[in-house]
Structure 1
Amino acid sequence: MFWRLLVPCLLLVGFAVPAHAAEPATFGVRPATAEAPDSRSDFSYSATPGAVVKDFVAVSNVSAQPLKLRVYASDAFNTPEGGFDLLPSGRESTDLGKWVVADRPEVEVGPRSTVIVPFALTVPANATPGDHTAGLVASLTTEATGTDGQRVAVEQRVGARIYLRVSGDLAPRLSIEGLTASYHGRWFGSGETKLSYVVRNTGNVRLGGKQKVWVETPWGSVVDGPALGDLPELLPGSTFRVSAVVPGVLPAGWIDGVAHIDPVAQAGTSPLPAVAEARTTTAAPPWIVVIALLGIALVLVLLTLRRRRSKPSPVTPAREVERVGA
């Protein structure tokens, strides 16, 4: 099946979405042999620095008209939402997207037909160990009329993912950064604690993860947070922001918020990644108790002042003066 990489996008910045654009063409790319598409869902390789890998991509046109398509590779990255995306077409790749070169950078594909394009992946001799990710793209640029009457260029891109693991020391590692906790209580009963943190892939292999959060009180009780979805697969260096609310937390004065992640690596990854965990402390004031104590303290102060005012002042006895006669 084809993997839709990007919806049609404007190549020129600052123009409105075309009002009279032609119907998007339908085309796609997928792994192939020299003769025909095969059953692979992506391009996955393991190689040593300096190696050259040769393979084939099938570029298919499902439309009723012929298409002239660019074929190139582009570096991949994670979006803030954890999705998989590629660099914009005008931005130069610096990693795996630069190492992959198609034999034919542009192909003409007839209606409802497929063209097989060879390509080569050349791993630099100084390539760093671990995972490198890109996409092999077929791109179609057309013109349309914008709402202001000007002609704008519209690009459609589809692609297939490329995963390369370069041999060497692997360091699978996730970290939890910037953990914050804030307690929101009520006058009576329990409240809720909001936890926010950023998960960063600080290693050199792509990782997913299973995550959970909880809150601990000073006397050792634990309130589990809601079930959280699994982390998306994070590429090395990528981040993903998480927020969760833990309900049913008593105002214990001080509480600890804890975030815990069990990383999930690709099969064959060694060593296994370590668990990531972080904790932070925040105030959870029991306002009813605080107000009651303040009330008691105020009463004691008033009683003390009243007692001092009502106590009689001591009388100093008069001195007798002895007269000594002449």
Structure 2
Amino acid sequence: MRFASDNSGPVHPKIMAALASANEGWAMPYGNDDLTRRAADRAREVFEAPAAAVYFVATGTAANAIALATITKPWETIFCHRVAHIHEDECNGPEFYTGGAKLTLVEGHTDRMTPEALRAAVEGEGQRGVHGPQRGPVSITSVTERGTLYTLDEIRALTDVARDHDLKVHLDGARFANACAALGCTAAEMSWKAGVDVVSFGGTKNGCMGVEAVIFFDPDHAWEFELRRKRGAHLFSKSRFLAAQMDAYLTDDLWLSLARSANNSATALANELREIPGVSFLFEPQANMVFPVLPAAAHRRLHDAGAMYYLWDGSLEDGVDEDIGARLVVDWSCGPENIDRFIDLVRG
């Protein structure tokens, strides 16, 4: 019953085997090896973008922060939702790597920007001349921090606003695979075909040991990203071990298969919870995250039995006896026995 994070799940055997294979013999360092070139070509094929510049880093924060730094000047501001991952969970990493650019937090829905709110935010900035921040890129997170999705039409509506103001668009895709699987779309349809300029394409949360791809659909950004990655201490010397993971991840659509497994398990968990009287949801589950509201007594039973997850909006201290929200994140390896045991404990 490990629902704390999809980061806590195991590495898929095919990816572990790819790492072992990459460890046989020697290879040129710093990405100058055949495996890195092959993995980059696979990414171009999956994204239907033969001219794209593709790079690998080890963490999602590095992917987001260095990608954004490449398309953002220090005196600009990045437009993102107020609960975007780059705002809530990256310790000001984008601000640091950009050399001082700020974030403008955009309202809208509880979990997603709306084009109207984005347009108002963009037009509200850049009007004070040299005295204020200049307009910078738009950053979209999908799957969102609340487990919901931007539809393709919603992404296009946001990128249309960005284009109206000649702004670049970044997609934080730590759970890109889960979003694609849930929407039933291709990687290209959720990225450059929807107006996105650069994607942080996640692998770590979905069965990899630790790798993210940064994909620029305009290769003119390639050299600057390479310099920033090196200067930012994220150019691995033995980079073939990053590439090996991504190569296996993209082979035979493993990335989609693992995401579908996680999403399907999350759907099964949510459906079982719906059958329990009194259980509600903070946000409608759409991918691999579920936010149920459960009685405090159910939380205590779960915690006593070793269930691992985060309380969302409350505490079990001091004998609290009220309904409390939770965040449950399902990874690719979650079997039905974990769901059944969790549901039995909620029922009491």
> Which structure dedicates a bigger proportion of its chain to helix?
2
Which bracket does the TM-score occupy, shorter chain normalised?
under 0.3
Structure with the greater alpha carbon radius of gyration = 1
> Which structure dedicates a bigger proportion of its chain to strand?
1
Q: Give the TM-score taking structure 1 as reference length.
A: 0.25
Q: Give the TM-score taking structure 2 as reference length.
A: 0.24
